[in-house]
A = this chain, B = another copy of it.
Amino acid sequence: MTYITSLKCVHCGREYTPEQVTYYCEVCGYHDGILDVIYDYDTVRRELNPESLARSTKYSMWRYLPLLPINNPGLIPHLQVGWTPLYEAPGLAGELGVARCWVKDEGRNPTASFKDRASAVGVVKALEQKAPRITCASTGNAASSLAGFAAAAGLPATIFVPGRAPAAKVAQLLVYGAQVFSVQGTYDQAWELCMQASAEFGWYNRNCAINPYLIEGKKTVSLELAEQFMTLTPGSFPDWVVVAVGDGCTIGGVWKGLWEMHRLGFIPRLPKVLGVQAEGCKPFVTAWQENTCLVPGEANTLADSIAVGHPRNFCKGMKGVTESGGAFVAVSDNDILRSITTLARKTGVFGEPAGAAGVAGVRQAVAAGMIRPDESVAIIVTGNGLKDIQNAICAAGQPVSVQPDIREVRQAVAASGKC
């Protein structure tokens, strides 16, 4: 059983029971009618509180089960997901010009990205519904995490990728045994084909933008942040939580988790949320700055995980920043590349471009006076740098070439001043 009271349409406000609806508001349709999962928080609080968590030995996102839409916990696959490390990074704080800085390394999840939290929930929902197969359209972390969790659960998966998807990313899906359709067309065409196939074959649809339960997995990163800070810095919480933004689902989940942990009394006050986009793909930044609706645009950035010109979850994404009194910033691809090395060298955490973009975003927000030097920030690093070695090579620089002769090393060491 769950503590869900209703699924509420973010567009029209209609409420449904979980039995009445599978994915989206039938009146508003799947472009607008995204549903939000509402819980009975007073009852949740009786099961989920500082005392119950102190007793819990489930070191994974499943320690927050009363806040998750899971009817049958017996179906949860074995892969350990969530409960990722949170590090304080004084060197990075100094570099960025803030009072204190923490980094949450989501690259430590089973398939090396934040998306595992969503796929874990998606796979359990598919099993609960006895779906014969689960599907999504993606070339990136959502696809690889779905393939990994489907394999772990013994659930067949079909993934639609656009024809131009890089061989390396497709390989990971195939290694996990997913059926992969390479669609000779655009990403949008792959997405529509996935929607059609899901409807026709009864495959469970893991596309986060239309499936209300996926974001419930994503929010667990904030549930963890709240609990981890309760231990690290009792009675206080960072002023800002920082995350890169693509289709809006991630930042929407981050905000929902923060809101819930405040509602349940785990954190003393709500932080501001900083959403970071790339200069070449910034529909949220534009809409927020100009106070307009979404205008889909270009997707020109090397940070592929946030290269989303037409965000499918604009509403929930925008809500996170506006309700929190936060901000959106855009950073250049050069800044993103530089942030990969800054993050790795100051903390030992190697992030993929979108994962490190939060670091560039803080730098930008400090320069713009949005974040004050006396404020503290928690940056969510959403994916592992090993996911995108090509961009790491661009960021990294070159080694020093020497002959196998100690005299050459001596000269190079003297020249570098490093000895």
User: Which residues of A are at the interface with B, using a C-beta cutoff of 8 A?
Assistant: 59, 77-80, 85, 87-88, 91, 105, 108, 110-112, 132-133, 148-149, 151-154, 156, 158, 161, 163, 167-168, 170-177, 179-186, 189-190, 192-193, 196-197, 200-201, 340-341, 344-350, 384-387, 389, 392-393, 395-406, 409-410, 412-413, 416, 418-419
C-alpha spacing A268/B206, complex, angstroms: 45
- Enumerate chain B residues within 8 angstroms of A108, measured Cβ to Cβ: 80, 108, 110
Tell whether, in the assembled complex, residue A404 and residue B192 are in contact, meaning their CB atoms are under 8 Å apart. Answer: yes
Given A112-B384, A158-B418, A175-B340, does the pair A181, B348 have CB atoms closer than 8 Å? no
Q: How far is the CB of A193 from chain B (nearest CB, A)?
A: 6
Q: How far is the CB of A22 from chain B (nearest CB, A)?
A: 19
With most chain B CB atoms within 10 A of its CB, the pick from A77, A170, A181, A192 is A181
Tell whether, in the assembled complex, residue A189 and residue B77 are in contact, meaning their CB atoms are under 8 Å apart. Answer: no
A169 nearest CB neighbor, chain B only = B389
Q: How far is the CB of A418 from chain B (nearest CB, A)?
A: 6
- Enumerate chain B residues within 8 angstroms of A111, measured Cβ to Cβ: 350
Tell whether, in the assembled complex, residue B396 and residue A149 are in contact, meaning their CB atoms are under 8 Å apart. Answer: no
Leading 9 A-B pairs by shortest Cβ distance: A152-B348, A174-B396, A180-B399, A189-B404, A177-B345, A185-B404, A386-B386, A80-B85, A182-B399
- Enumerate chain B residues within 8 angstroms of A401, measured Cβ to Cβ: 163, 181-182, 184
Tell whether, in the assembled complex, residue B344 and residue A175 are in contact, meaning their CB atoms are under 8 Å apart. Answer: yes
Q: Which of B176, B196, B350 contacts A176 (CB 8 A)?
A: B350
C-alpha spacing A179/B400, complex, angstroms: 8
Given A184-B403, A350-B148, does the pair A341, B197 have CB atoms closer than 8 Å? no
Tell whether, in the assembled complex, residue A201 and residue B419 are in contact, meaning their CB atoms are under 8 Å apart. Answer: yes
- Enumerate chain B residues within 8 angstroms of A396, measured Cβ to Cβ: 170-172, 174-175
A177 nearest CB neighbor, chain B only = B345
A396 nearest CB neighbor, chain B only = B174
Tell whether, in the assembled complex, residue A400 and residue B181 are in contact, meaning their CB atoms are under 8 Å apart. Answer: yes
- Enumerate chain B residues within 8 angstroms of A197, measured Cβ to Cβ: 406, 409, 413
Tell whether, in the assembled complex, residue B402 and residue A179 are in contact, meaning their CB atoms are under 8 Å apart. Answer: no
C-alpha spacing A161/B158, complex, angstroms: 41
A351 nearest CB neighbor, chain B only = B175
C-alpha spacing A409/B182, complex, angstroms: 10
A158 nearest CB neighbor, chain B only = B418
C-alpha spacing A384/B163, complex, angstroms: 26
Tell whether, in the assembled complex, residue B193 and residue A409 are in contact, meaning their CB atoms are under 8 Å apart. Answer: yes
18 contacts between A and B (CB under 8 A): A79-B349, A91-B154, A105-B110, A133-B419, A151-B344, A151-B345, A151-B346, A151-B348, A153-B348, A170-B396, A175-B350, A175-B395, A176-B348, A179-B400, A185-B404, A186-B404, A192-B404, A193-B406
- Enumerate chain B residues within 8 angstroms of A78, measured Cβ to Cβ: 87-88, 347-348
C-alpha spacing A112/B399, complex, angstroms: 22
- Enumerate chain B residues within 8 angstroms of A404, measured Cβ to Cβ: 183-186, 189-190, 192-193
C-alpha spacing A406/B112, complex, angstroms: 32
Tell whether, in the assembled complex, residue A148 and residue B399 are in contact, meaning their CB atoms are under 8 Å apart. Answer: no
Beyond A171-B393, A182-B399, 17 additional pairs, beta carbon < 8 A: A78-B87, A110-B348, A112-B384, A161-B399, A168-B392, A171-B389, A171-B392, A173-B399, A174-B398, A175-B385, A175-B395, A181-B399, A183-B402, A196-B406, A197-B409, A201-B413, A201-B419
C-alpha spacing A119/B152, complex, angstroms: 30
Tell whether, in the assembled complex, residue B172 and residue A392 are in contact, meaning their CB atoms are under 8 Å apart. Answer: yes
C-alpha spacing A175/B384, complex, angstroms: 13
A170 nearest CB neighbor, chain B only = B399
- Enumerate chain B residues within 8 angstroms of A149, measured Cβ to Cβ: 348
Q: How far is the CB of A320 from chain B (nearest CB, A)?
A: 27
- Enumerate chain B residues within 8 angstroms of A183, measured Cβ to Cβ: 402-404
With most chain B CB atoms within 10 A of its CB, the pick from A105, A158, A389, A400 is A389
With most chain B CB atoms within 10 A of its CB, the pick from A78, A156, A392, A398 is A78
- Enumerate chain B residues within 8 angstroms of A406, measured Cβ to Cβ: 193, 196-197, 200
